[in-house]
Amino acid sequence: MSDEQHCIEHLTVINNVEYTLQSRTVETEDGQRHSEYRVLLDGHEIKGWTHGEILPLFGIGRS
């Protein structure tokens, strides 16, 4: 899966800086699923894909 496929993007502003939050669900070979997120600034990755769900921390649900 490419980074852009099957991910949800949300823009957020923290301390007057606009970040892009990306969240996706990954399925492992054994069929288990987990959530991952990453953070972009001006299109550049500043935090790589990390296990966990970030969107609820910002009050954002999956649509």
The domain containing residue 48 runs over which residues?
A: 7-58
Residue 30 belongs to a domain: yes
Residue 51 belongs to a domain: yes
What is d(CA 36, CA 53) in angstroms, rounded to the nearest whole number? 6
Model confidence at 61: pLDDT above 90: no
Q: In this structure, what token pair is assigned to residue 3?
A: 């980074």
Total domains in the fold of the chain = 1
| pLDDT average, residue stretch 20-33 | 91
List all residues 6 or more positions away from 49 whose beta carbon is below 8 Å from its beta carbon: 3, 24, 36, 37, 38
- The pTM assigned to this predicted structure is 0.74
Model confidence at 36: pLDDT above 60: yes
Residue 1 belongs to a domain: no
CB atoms under 10 Å from CB of 37, counted, come to 20
